[in-house]
Amino acid sequence: MSKICIITGSSGLIGSESVRFFADKFEKVIGIDNNLRSYFFGVNASTDWNTNELLKEFSNFEHYNIDIRSYSDLEKIFLKYGNDIDLVIHTAAQPSHDWAAKEPLTDFSVNATGTLNLLELTRLNCPKSVFVFTSTNKVYGDLPNLLPLVELDTRWEIDKNHFYFENGIDETMSIDGSKHSVFGASKVAADIMVQEYGRYFNMNTGVFRGGCLTGPNHSGAQLHGFLSYLMKCAILKDSYTIFGYKGKQVRDNIHSYDLVNMFWHFYRNPRSGEVYNAGGGRHSNCSMLEAIKICENLTGNGMNITYASDNRIGDHIWYISDVSKFKNHYPNWEYKYDLEMTLSEMFNNIKKRS
């Protein structure tokens, strides 16, 4: 059994899924999370409930209420465990377009400086460990909106004559020359730094550019957590606002388990400075209108939908991840959850907590 796994953002969606996935594979799992999500999105988005669940569930899980912007606080953990640290999974972030524009300094310090702190401490204390970073498809900015798209009844879709994008967007798309949003820009800085530590310092670093990350343990809010917040509104009969594109914008959605399983495969056979698009791909995707219909069917409630004419800055009209590169590198990985399974699980979980 491996020794130490450090997980930042350990009470969030991907972090908590990582704790649950890796708890029986490591002697000790160290969680770092200071519930900054409640500062970003309000008390209803607090992840304290998840921290408490993890502490009850796993005897080998330790939680540290530490801000990743504090190098000195992080350093104490890395100095304590040193080369016993085999894996660092970095999921902590400020994840919202809209919120980032309100406090760019906070957004950059969390997303970029926090990532650099963790990379440097890993290099100095456990350079042979594997470093996994949850990036985002927003590093591509709004370039996906320049693809040949056609408007259908319930969604936008790629023009069927352009076969290159049949499986979605791959890692060769440029991250330059586009409008990213402040959030997207801070994640670009972190994304590139993780690659650089892999290539320059020959560390085992992997960048996973997620589509919509989702699952039953998401503390969804209006500004982040599309499917979770949508399902919550459907159950509670709250109003839901669609921002632009007539609700036909398309997102691929990957269940937190499937993404963390990607981390597991990478950990067992790591590479240096590798980048992977990591989303639901053609296996699991929907437009907002299509997601609303599924939520209405599951809950039995008609949803109260309002439309905002303006889309969010840098937002994608159509984004589906091409995960072919990862599947070529790790052919034994496969999806466990499709969209219907994910939403059904989410419905049952939110209903139980409401």
| More confidently predicted of 91 and 234 | 91
What was the pLDDT predicted at 222? 55
Lateral strand order in the sheet of 26-32: 61-64, 26-32, 2-8, 85-90, 130-136, 204-210, 274-278
Angle of the 71-81 helix axis to the 114-125 helix axis, nearest 10 = 30
Average predicted confidence (pLDDT) for the chain = 92
What was the pLDDT predicted at 354? 61
What was the pLDDT predicted at 188? 98
239-243 and 204-210 strand pairing: unpaired
53 has pLDDT over 90: yes
What was the pLDDT predicted at 177? 94
- Block residue for tokens 């036909």: 248
* Residue 341: CA count within 13 A, CB half-sphere: 12
Token code pair at residue 316: 């994608």
Q: Domain 2-353, what architecture?
A: 3-Layer(aba) Sandwich (3.40)
218 has pLDDT over 80: no
CA distance 212 to 345: 16
What was the pLDDT predicted at 24? 97
CB 28 within 8 A of CB 4: yes
User: Global pTM?
Assistant: 0.93
What was the pLDDT predicted at 2? 78
Q: Where are the domains of the chain?
A: 2-353
Q: Could you tell me which residues are beta bridge partners of residue 242?
A: 307
